[in-house]
Structure 1
Amino acid sequence: MADQNLPQPAWVPDACTLPTAERPLRLAEFDELFTRAVRGGERLGARHLRVTLAGGPDLAESVRDLAARETECCSFFDFTVTAPEPGLVRLDIEVPAARIDVLDAWAARV
């Protein structure tokens, strides 16, 4: 389990409504997902990142759930989750121009 006393990353925007104490836990969820399942990342534009993930049959639902929870606290994200074939998931992440720095940080984590 992630340390709840970790400092908030500098790139987390003020617009994020997730309680500060929960932010390291959410970040740990994404880090665990990316470590376990990412097979590639592609920047399709300054405001658009596509992440390709591979895993078991429950991967798409897990990614959808995590993306939905992230959208609840950071509504500027536009996540699209597709499963073009069993075990393969594409996570498209788009942000407005004012949040490109946040997408840059996500791309670095991928």
Structure 2
Amino acid sequence: MAEKSWRDVPVACTLDGPALGERTAQWQRVTARATDRRDTADGVVLAFPGTPELAAEVAALAAAEKDCCAFFDFTLHLTPAALELTVRAPGTAAALLADLFGVPV
């Protein structure tokens, strides 16, 4: 059976109040370390220094986020000098995208 596209998954988060607040804080701490950001039609691209520790932290956080918010789509691109995180979401998730990644609504 083929996996549903992130575009076809309902926009819903399975985290409750305290867990959602902690996850939001985790993303805010990570995104504050971005050295560049580009808004896209359906999300954002964040650039970070390309350290293995930061790459591992971002990857683990993206995987945890995907477990509770299947509508997000994450792509990590790691080069020797930089890490790029691309985050995409359906238009109906614009408020959540803004809360977690600072994307203008």
Q: TM-score range by the shorter chain?
A: 0.7 to 0.9
Q: CA RMSD in A?
A: 2.0
In the TM superposition, residue 24 of structure 1 has moved relative to its aligned partner by 1.3
Identity of aligned residues (%): 28
In structure 2, distance between residues paired with 1:17 and 1:87: 35
Task: Choose which of 92, 100, 104 in structure 2 pairs with 1:98.
Answer: 92
Larger relative contact order, structure 1 or 2 (CA cutoff 8 Å, min sep 6): 2
Structure 1 spans left out of the alignment, 5+ residues: 1-13
Given the two structures, how large is their TM-score scaled by the length of structure 1? Answer: 0.73
Q: Tell me: CA distance 1:39–1:31, structure 2 relative to 1, closer, same or farther (3 Å).
A: same
Residue 26 (structure 1) aligned with residue 16 (structure 2): no
Mapping for residues 79-94 of structure 1, pairs under 5 Å: 79-83=74-78, 85-94=79-88
Q: Hey, which bits of structure 1, 4+ residues long, moved more than 6 A?
A: none
AA partner of residue 94 (structure 2): I
Q: Is the 8 A contact 1:59 1:87 kept in 2?
A: no
Aligned length: 93
| 1:22 to partner: Cα distance | 0.8
Instruction: Quote the residue 1:3 is aligned against.
Output: none
Q: In the alignment, which residue of structure 1 is the partner of 2:67?
A: 72
Is the contact between residue 14 and residue 68 of structure 2 (CA under 8 Å) also seen in structure 1? Answer: yes
Where 2:52 maps in the other structure, the secondary structure is: coil
